[in-house]
Structure 1
Amino acid sequence: MEHENSRPAHSYPSEQQKRAADIWQAIFKLQTSFSEYLYTPMRPSEGEKQHQVSNGSETDIIGPPQPRNITTVLEELEISPKHIGSDESANLVSKIRRLLDNRSLTELIVNTAKHESPDSFVLRYFRARKWEIGRTLCMLIAALHWYHFEANVEGDILKNGEEVAIRDSEKGICLDPKLASDFMKQVRMGKSFLHGRDKDGRPIWYARVRLHRPSDQCNESIERYTLYLIENIRLMLTPSTETITIFYDMTGFSIANMDYNFVKFSTNIFEANYPEILGYILIHNAPWVFQGIWRLIRGWLDPVVANKVRFTTGRKGLEKFIAPENLVKELGGDDDWTYRYEEPISGENERLTDAATRDRLLLERETLTKQFVSISNAWLKALDHAELMSNRSIVIGQLRSNYAKLDPYIRSRSLYDRQGTLVIADVDLSTGNTDEKKASS
């Protein structure tokens, strides 16, 4: 039962190589074109000092080159008003301006991808937009802007984590006390948890729906909790397993547990900002009352996402997806494991204050990113060049290894680090050899 995304990121079949090349060509073109547009100074104004040279019978004014016309740039990239609509195009230009302020687009992609292959990361968006360049660039830019500015995933949710939420439940230094308290209430009760893998090696996100009541916590804390879980399970992905399984345990479900706002939020988040990360969505032991609810929810889902939903009942119904030894006992499996929250350990986040080591690793990452851009540009001119492909895979592996070292200096430790569940595999993508290292080590 092999999923189409469950293949090593460095060994795409030729068609996938071409797809990766197509989207990187567009990304590099966007970076170059917008850099020229944003940063090329205008010619001196008529009143400014200029000098003239004779050019045959005409006299030319010599000054800085004219910036590229923005309309031309947008049309070349298939993101002009005529391609995607005037409002969306104008909004996109504004987001690009903000994203490219002192950063390259590739740097943003590499840093957002974290331990994941940059190829795998961008191909998620390309695949979600049916291989259309313009629509893919729109989606990618919007997702990067959301990640870094709107949700502030790295600067807040990942950096502050559980330890700050526990502190601010009382002190409210960085987070509103109610937000922090409601967030930790959900973490501690185990409303959802990450544990084990399915038969295809996908990490599993269990959601015990009976424990959720919308009025028990503020909406913002539910959204924060969801992003916290998404980011933790993302770090459990490997080069050979690029998707996750979400398991909704509907045992004991009643109408009081239904939260339409959360369903809309999570649907939008996965479709717009984490595309193609879902392998299966298992809805287990759903009562008859859920049938009508499902008909409504299905209408909100992208057809591709809806087709990943499977309804299961009892242990036997799950055996197709999860081996009995990997299924927790409360669901009829043989895995004698129960969710239990482990409080943060004193000093576990000390490395977040080690700016010198963090900056050294970030500089190393920046250097590797430049190498990735350089070798990718060469590869784009010779897709079948074996040595270029090999060297490019090595750089991708080095980026992954770099993130494994960098992670504890930019991300607060979570329950899954303390449990040893969250492990970043340091993979040599040129050989496939794996050396698993705990991100917290």
Structure 2
Amino acid sequence: MEASFTKLWETCTWRQSYGANDLEESQLNQEYLKEGSVFVHNNDVDGKPLLIFRVKLHSKSKNLDELIRIVVYWVERTQREQHLTQLTIFFDMAGTGLATMDLDFVKRIVETFKQYYPNTLNYILVFELAWVLNAAFKVIKALLPPKAVEILKMISKKDINQYITKDNCLASWGGEDNYEFSFVPEAKKVTSKPVAANAGDDEQFDKKGPNLERESAVGSVLVTRLHPEEVGPSVA
């Protein structure tokens, strides 16, 4: 129990310092965001959103902190928009060679999910891994905890439909979806301010609102940490 509360505290501290709850596209590297190397589109067979990494578009010269910030943005945005606690990571390795295979980036992705989103992953799908990258991927696999290895699947066009239906597969994966990535800003929710009896009460609502929202978020994290069986496999 003590370990669970320690992890909860560490996660809450990180979320506050990182600004995870309020992360917006304006705070991100626009070039990285709009090139489409990381984005969310469609769902797996269980209805979980696909967080897609098109590895061939990656460059080892990119700033890893800014890339991870984009990963966090997509996770947070997906949870806000779809009210889901899980998603599937899809590493699109088609056309990827040693020049774009960045072990440091993959390690950072693994550590981010392991530390701050331990029960978020439904599957980790690795699509069309070239044989020249097998050795590198063994290194990555060794970084994963046992429960993450269980949901790690190496797939190709022959068996991708076991995890993603044909209508949810991009054409480049052998599917029916001709989608081409184009970044669409997140729709902003318009919330009406509570009707106040006087100006003093109105000010009080303004002060209490954010606190109540943060308390709700903390409660959600607590359930995830202390009752992981309710939300699926953990990568911790």
TM range (shorter): 0.7 to 0.9
- Whether 2:3 is the aligned partner of 1:140: answer no
Relative distance call for 1:351 and 1:301 in structure 2 (3 A) is same
Amino acid at match of 1:231: E
- What corresponds to 1:224 in structure 2? 69
- What SS does the aligned partner of 2:15 have? helix
- Whether 2:43 is the aligned partner of 1:197: answer yes
Q: Distance in 2 between matches of 1:214 and 1:139?
A: 31
- What corresponds to 1:162 in structure 2? 25
Which structure has the larger Rg over C-alpha atoms?
1
Which residue of 144, 150, 153 corresponds with 2:20? Answer: 153
- What corresponds to 2:98 in structure 1? 255
Show the 5 A alignment for 1:23-422: 133-149=1-17, 151-155=18-22, 158=23, 161-163=24-26, 165=27, 183-215=29-61, 217-238=62-83, 242-314=85-157, 316-342=158-184, 360=205, 363=208
For structure 1, the residue ranges without an aligned partner over 5 or more in a row are: 1-132, 166-179, 377-395, 397-441
Shift of 1:317: 1.1
Check the 8 A contact 1:237/1:243 in 2, yes or no: no
Q: Deviations over 1:200-229 (max 9, x none)?
A: 1111111110000121x2222112112112
Q: Distance in 2 between matches of 1:369 and 1:219?
A: 28
- What corresponds to 1:400 in structure 2? none
Shift of 1:358: 11
CA RMSD of aligned residues (A): 3.3
Q: Distance in 2 between matches of 1:365 and 1:152?
A: 13
Higher relative contact order (CA 8 A, sep 6+): 2
Amino acid at match of 2:15: Y
Q: Distance in 2 between matches of 1:278 and 1:184?
A: 26
Amino acid at match of 1:262: F
Relative distance call for 1:368 and 1:214 in structure 2 (3 A) is closer
Q: Distance in 2 between matches of 1:262 and 1:369?
A: 30
- What SS does the aligned partner of 2:125 have? strand
- What SS does the aligned partner of 1:204 have? strand
Check the 8 A contact 1:280/1:310 in 2, yes or no: yes
Relative distance call for 1:258 and 1:363 in structure 2 (3 A) is same
Check the 8 A contact 2:91/2:126 in 1, yes or no: yes
Q: Distance in 2 between matches of 1:370 and 1:256?
A: 45
Q: Distance in 2 between matches of 1:336 and 1:286?
A: 22
Moved over 6 A (4+): 348-352, 356-359, 367-371
Shift of 1:368: 9.0
Could you state the TM-score of these two structures normalised by the residue count of structure 1?
0.43
Q: Percent identity?
A: 24
Q: Distance in 2 between matches of 1:225 and 1:260?
A: 18
- What corresponds to 1:130 in structure 2? none
Check the 8 A contact 1:202/1:237 in 2, yes or no: no
Q: Distance in 1 between matches of 2:131 and 2:204?
A: 55
Q: Distance in 2 between matches of 1:305 and 1:234?
A: 20
Shift of 1:233: 2.3
